[in-house]
Structure 1
Amino acid sequence: MAVTGVGIDLVSVSEFEAQLKQPGTTMLSSFSPGERRDAGGDPRSLAARWAAKEAVFKAFSSGFYGRRPAEKEVAAREVEVVSDAWGRPGVRVYGRIAADLGPDVRIHLSLTHDGDVAGAVAVIEAP
């Protein structure tokens, strides 16, 4: 396995929370029911999951250097942040990312939040 993409993203928790509270926003629909459940209503946890989606988009895009970046073509719902039985984060991908990456790819993910900042790092490994 070789690293084929790396992505990182930071999110202002207060700005993210303000977006969630805007009338008519569809931001929450970017998260699966499982993501909302795992976040437990904590805006910091949701912001970290949003950062994870962005980090995966960036890692995917960097792995296909010279091609159009994924951020403009991939929906946020195509990247799902999941938790294992011990609460460790992982990623499931769907749609274009899943098709382009194939079945033998691993995506490593790290989430964090401290104060008003949430962040994530994604690393894609492929054979």
Structure 2
Amino acid sequence: MSAETRDPSEKEGIRRALAEALGTVAGGALGLGVDVQLISEINSDNPNFLERNFTPAEIAYCRAAPDPRASFAGRWAAKEAVVKAKMNVRPEGKNYTRGGGAPLIEIEILPGNSGAPTVIQHGRALENAREIGVAEIKVSISHSGDYVAAVALAFIRPGQ
């Protein structure tokens, strides 16, 4: 029987079983997102782009970095990875992203005490995370030459 012809309750049972299995392997993670970004494509000189997609704290952090454009690209890739991780939590659910031109300011990526990036969600991004049962999202950002890559893992609340 193909996935398209399964009873919705059977699909949900399979989804939950897979989520539990994944949870044992990835400590409760359910959604995975990855993004790779060419650093030169980020228009960090455009104030409209920055104000639409980055919080004042992110802008200040990136501008103070040794390579601001690479720092903005890293945060951009992390935000994209977060969106993808959340979409993978409930792939059959509604698309809340408002398309490729949607601003990403509601997903904030700032360094934590250890220096590792942390995800702080605001507004619709936070509402959506709560709706789909996401308790926390972890990200990792890597820079290499002309590119930056980010990986995000969305962790669900127990019983979701």
TM-score normalised per structure 2: 0.68
CA distance in 1, matches of 2:127, 2:80: 18
**Is 1:28 aligned to 2:54, yes or no?**
no
SS at match of 1:76: coil
The residue aligned with 2:144 is 114
The residue aligned with 2:126 is 98
Given the superposition, is the C-alpha separation of residues 70 and 116 from structure 1 closer, same or farther in structure 2, using an over 3 Å criterion?
Answer: farther
The answer to whether the 8 A contact 2:58-2:109 is kept is yes
TM-score normalised per structure 1: 0.84
**Structure 2 letter corresponding to 1:84:** G
- The count of aligned residue pairs is 123
Q: Identity of aligned pairs, percent?
A: 30
**Structure 1 letter corresponding to 2:79:** K
For the pair shown, which has the larger CA radius of gyration, 1 or 2? 2
Structure possessing the higher relative contact order (Cα contacts under 8 Å, 6 or more residues apart): 1
The RMSD of aligned alpha carbons is: 2.1
**Structure 1 letter corresponding to 2:143:** H
CA distance in 2, matches of 1:96, 1:122: 18
CA distance in 2, matches of 1:8, 1:65: 15
The answer to whether the 8 A contact 1:110-1:122 is kept is yes
Gaps of 5+ in 2: 1-26
Gaps of 5+ in 1: none
CA distance in 1, matches of 2:139, 2:125: 16
Deviates more, 1:52-61 or 1:74-83: 74-83
**Is 1:79 aligned to 2:107, yes or no?**
yes
Bigger strand share: 1
